[in-house]
Every structure is written in C-alpha cells, then in structure tokens.
Chains A and B, each alone.
Chain A
C-alpha cells in the first residue's frame, strides 16, 4: 500500500427508503472541515436503488463530489452488497479518510468493509481532528503529520481514547449520530456526480430478506428536540409521566427517558437516552428522577443546559447538572408547568 496514493475525505451518505439519514449530512459537514484542514475535497458515497436524486441535497449541504452506486440489489440495506459497494469504491477511488455513521447500519457495514480492505476502524467516534501522530514527538520515532485523530469513549464512558491509523488507508471511523454538526444548507449548490457500479452477483454471503416490518411510530425523534423533558425510574409510574408531558408541551419540547424506564416497559426504546439509546444535545435537558448512571450521562452530557430534579441529593446526575434541585418532582413539576404557562401567556 502506497499511502501517498490515497487522497480526499469520503463519507457514507446513509439513506433509508431513499431519504437521507441525518447522519449523512452530519458526516458531510464534518468531512468538509477535515477536508479543509487537509486542503482536499469531501466526497459523499451514495448507495441504494434509484437514489441519484439525493445527490443535490448532499451538494447543498457541502459535498464537493458525490459517487452514486445505484443497483436494484441495493434497494433495502443488506450487509454484503453494501460492503461490496463501499469496498469497491475505496479500491477504485482511494480516499485517505472514510467515515461511516455509527448507526445500526453503519456499525454492521463498517467492520465488514474495513476487514475486506485491511485497514483499521475506530468505533463510535465523538470527535475527529487532523493532527500529528504521535501527538508529542518521541525520540527515534517519526512524527507523522496530517493524520486523522479519532476520539471515542470506552469502558462504558469512563475513559476516553484517541486513536490513529498511521500505516493503513483509508483511516476509517464510525461516527456517533447527533454529535457532529451539519453545515448550513446552500440552496442550488451543485456537486460533481460520478456514477459507479462495480457489479453485484449474489453469492453465499447475500442474505434473503423475507419481510420488512416497520415499527409504526408517531413519536418525534428525540435527537431533533430543542427541549427534552427526560424521566427516570424516580418518576414512579408510567401514569406519572403525564407530569413530564405537560411540562414538555408548555415548552414545545419532547419527552425522553432513561434505560430503567424502557426496561420497566413504561416507555418505548426509541425514547431512550444513553449509551444503548440515543445521544442527544438539546438546548435544555430536564433530568427528572434520573439518578444519572454513567451510561445515561454519556448520551446527554453535551446538552447546553442540564436541569436536574431528584429527591436524592447524592444522585450522580448532580455532578453533570448545571442546575440541580434536590426536591420532590411530584410537587415541583405541576407548579412549574402552571407558572411557565402564565409566563409564556404574558409575553
């Protein structure tokens, strides 16, 4: 492998049902920053069936170039044809960096692709930057410049590690959704579009999709909410979530919850914040009756303002809260909702 042959920042533009996933635009945004630091371009790799029309949207969010791999075999996500698509694109176009979303699709696809092309893959990154490796010069060891430094939490969020991939290309990472910022949309902006099809011949690794069952869900995506009113086991019962829903309604927010609440069957999994749920960073995060286990904190600590209400003054949530109130949520919440209603009505 001649590392010098590998140029440019590529991102996997995940789409589902021919709608771009939020992570696709987040990766284009981050990829653009990295490309700027390297003096190169960001290329979005769009894989699916009949997806070409999405190239314009990727361009408007900052993609300089879009490679479209369009084939009927790619209509619904399956590991093998998608892995073949990405591995072929990498072998053909030789990017120095390749980013994939750490979604259910990306965390299945990324390892398969990295293993096929023999490079490193860093999982679930929360920070990416261009820098030197080793970070500080070490006598007798060459310090490499313009390396991708990939930072990620490990050990259940207790430690944080920065990883490099100095000797293999592309440098690959899966990136946690909701962490990177998409760039502002520039209407009418165009990208260079390249069609590429490596050919898809089913083999033993192709699985057959017998059925696709979509969960019918009318709940708002908690990752898009500006205000989240999140409840934990301390809320006491599913019925008592009414108090949180009322507060959320007054503020135009959304209700979310901790893992304990999902495990107890009080709320569905798509409302769960935390390491095994979703990562959120709203403007305001209310943590109501949430003790604040490290796995939960990992999913919400980037919120702009964290307000915690808990009757247990030793609850670890107070260690990350900007404003912590030791008190009874059953008394505070109804009064808070009424007061806010009056405040907003008087504006």
Chain B
C-alpha cells in the first residue's frame, strides 16, 4: 500500500453488498444493497435489532462468513483494496495487519489454557516481530489498554481475570498491529454498566491516540450515540438510514429510527403512571422473505400505498444523511401505536412481603461465601420494587431465597401478608407457591422448547389451581388473552414464536395461580428494544389489573426509573440504599448509587465519577463498609473499621453509609435541602 492510495481512499467502503445464507436446502437473502463508507479516523456505528444482519456485515468485512454464507454481489474495499476476492495469503496478511475485530464475549475469544502473555505475544509473532522484542511489545500494548500491572496479568490464565479485564486484553490484541480498521461487535454487551463505561472510555482514548477507524456494532442506541461520529441503522438486512450520529438521533428522518427512540424510556420520559411507552408493532420479517415495496412498510405507522409497491432508494436528506423512506420528511410525525394514557392503578401502604434479617451463606470448597447479609426489605401490595446492582451483588440470590429455591441462613424471617413463610418451596402451601412466581430473563431457557404453549401454561394452571380440566383450559386461554396473545398460538412451540411472544408466554405462566408477588429477573434484557417496550407496558397493565407486586431486577436504570415505585440498591449481598424511585434518582445518593448512575452511557464525560477495580469476592468481603475499597467518597479510617448500618436518613429513605446526608448533598453538587422534595423535575 503506497502512501498515496492510503490518503485518497477511505478506511472502509462497502458498495452494493448482498449476501445469502443457506438454511436447509434454500439460499435466503440476509443482506441487500448495503452501502456505507468509514472515513479514516472515523468512528462509524452500525445499530439495529438482533437478526438485522449487523454481525453478518462484520463477518463479511473480515471475510469470515460461516460455511453456509456467501456474498452474491457488491464490493468491500479496505483502503481502496477489494477484499471479496483475496487469495488465502493476502487474506492472512489482511487479518494480521490491516483489520482487527473484538467480539462480544471476551471469555470465548481467548484460549482458556494459555497464559495471557503468550496469547498476546502470538499476535506479535504473526506480525513478524523478532522474539526478543516481543515481551516488551506485549507489556507496552497492555499498558496502552490501561492494565495497571501488565507483568502480573501476563502470567495469568483467562479464567483468573474478570470480564472487563479480559475485554481489555482482547482489545490490546486487536490494536497490537495498529490496524487501519478496528471492528467492535457488541464489545460491552455482557459487561456490567460500570465496566462498560470504562471499556468505552478506553476505546475512545485509543481511537484518538492511534487514529484507527472504528466500526462499532451495537444494539444499544445509547452506546452508539456516545461512541460514534456517524451511524447506519440496519433493519432486516437493509440500511434504513445513514448519517451523522447527532443528526440521526436528534432529527431522525426514518420512521424506524423514530420508533426505536420512542421505545426507550429515558430520564425525559414520564414515569409509568404518567405515560405508556410507545412500541413498534409487528415483527422482523423472516430471513429471505420476498417483500415488494419497503421492507419496513408492514410495521410503519406512516405507511402509504406507494410504500407497499415501490422500495425506496437511500434518499439524500438534509443534515448530510440518507434515508430509505418515501416520506422521510414526515418521519417524526409518526403516530403513536399505543395510547399514551397509562393504566390507572391503586396503591396501598399495606405490606405484602417482608424479609427481615436475611442472610445466605453458601459453602464453596469448604469456605463460606457470604452471598446475602443483613437484608431488610418490604414490598407493599401493588408496588414495584426494583433491585439494582452490579452482577455478583446478590440480586438473584435474594430472589431465589424469596422463591424458596435457596434456604436462607437461620434467623431469616420471611413473612407473606403477615404470615411466616417456610424457607423451602417444598414446605410451602399451594397458595403460597402460587402467590410468589417468577419471570425469567431469557424465555428460551425458561420455556421448554418441546412443549406447546398450551402445555406450558396449562401445567402451571393445573398445579397451582388444582381445578377440573375445563376450568384449567379456560384459565389458560384467559391468561393468553391477558398477555395479549391470540388462541392461534395455543399449539405453537416456543421456537415458532418471536422473542416478545415467548416472554409473554412466560409472563402468562407466572400469573397462572393469581400471584401476589411476581419476581421479574431482567425480564427485558434479552429482548430487542422494540419488544422491550411492549413487555414493560404489559407488566404495567397487568399490575394495574391484578394489583400484583413486582420485585423487578434490572441493570437498566432508565427502565427502573420508568417502572419502579421504590428502588433497592445492592452491593456485595447488602442493601446500600433503599427509597422511593424519584428520591433515589434525584439524590443525594449513596456513593455506590452515584457511581452506578454515572456509568450510564447517556451521560456526558465530565459528570462522571468512576469506580476503580472489580467487585470484591463475596467469600472475603472487605472490612468495615464493604464498598470502601472502591468508594470515591471514602472519608477515612471509620469506613475501613466500622460497617455502617442501613439507617433511615429521611422518612422512607435508607442508606448504608457513614457520610451524613447533608455532606453527600454537597459532595454531589446538589443544591441544599428542600429542592429534592419535587423529584419529577430532575
């Protein structure tokens, strides 16, 4: 590559790309008419829901398609060089020197049985770096991804490092060759928000430093918005809109972008009692579906006759953008698909469930692991309590203790409507079992893939209600209606249903025995944005109709802000802060809550505080306050020696922190006193 061509050509140029997968005997179109350009030094985002073809684009660029995939048309030019017809040798050179990729799961990107140092060294060996220089280069590049102690990390095996650290190592390997193009495919999706924030900062710094072009693939609009200069919105294997990030999101010119943005609750959206979330109706068309006209017409609220007949081109629109929409100028007038009026519900102060003095100690390899410690929490009738915290903070353990799957330690008291509840599900009465049910994170795992919808829901109805065959069948159909599913799905198997429908079936099952409390463990995080909104609306409606309480476990603080009445923040098996949702989001916050809030990718750089390091092991919690090892507001020795109690610092607001509330207010730059009384304005 001569210097001259390097200057004249953009880093990546994809023209008219079309691609097919063979499913069974047929070739089905997966990408069509993909056109975009990534300029040198630019961050380009590719956003879309799952199944839209984002990863397929990346694989095509890497020339690394699965065996049942083939490019049928178009060109992919890296710095002016077409990569679609390279010899194996040229391809090797390309992957070693010009282009690197970081995958979603760093745990599977590294070889578990080879030390980190050796794996990073391999990259330099491939690049032809002489053996004696390699170790130094490895140290340098690990330094570059801000790994504090590279020598120590080099001696480790992958399983000895945390997810965030592994992703740093993978990024180090990717930038080792200073590639012209770095592809990041959902690089932070499996990571905690606090870790995600760090990794995103790192990627940004690196891009500025080594000037590489970045193709950033993500389903998260917030992450793309934060990271990218320009963005392409992908839907069903076609580009819907391409343009500068600001323009695309703030002044969208395609109804799909408008719809996606409306599905996401944000700090500006009202809370669940004020407004519903808008959704995108319908489903992604199946792979290879032959559709005349606009592929999005089926789901578009602005659809006209012409949309079903003529497929629009990518039309240039103001703001240096293009949009595949005949009526791009009307995109933002998209009518709501869901009435704005939120379901009305009654709240009561009556306690439904109280768990007091709860702790849970597991024994692992003979050593105790303190998964829960000193938990006091009550859930009122008809209320939603959100449980937030990083992974490993004990949220799921607490849920399992309430459900009777894990027996808590002695001394724990769980009371349902004032009556003591047995620790194990086996000792609870039928009524008590039906009263506490669960909606799982991933419906693919929660629904038996060999059973029909009728059997999945019907079995729960039969066991939790013990009525006759006819009543069971009626109740099953009734539940289907309640989750807005038609009886045509009764005989369907889970794989015949979309992700959203599957989660509806799981919700119907949880409501089989007229529950008083439904524990929702990340019920929307495995779902696409457009589906997430519909599920959250459904949960809100069911709550209004059935007066059920929710314990809502989530890492998505925007969803929590929208749906929760109260929020409980957990860290290392302890409750750090409990209070009404508006109060918790308004502050002053517990320092840990403050850190969680500032990890959100919605925020600007300078409003952030950063958490150092990883959550400590529950088998060996720090002395004093468990958060003191990472606390940005630590005040001194007292934090290291005395564990603060969970105290009621304001009526209805509890914190586990030595710092007085007034001081927190000052530290967090909030105006003193009164103002917090009206949290809705923040």
Do chains A and B stick together as partners? no
B interface vs A, CB < 8 Å? none
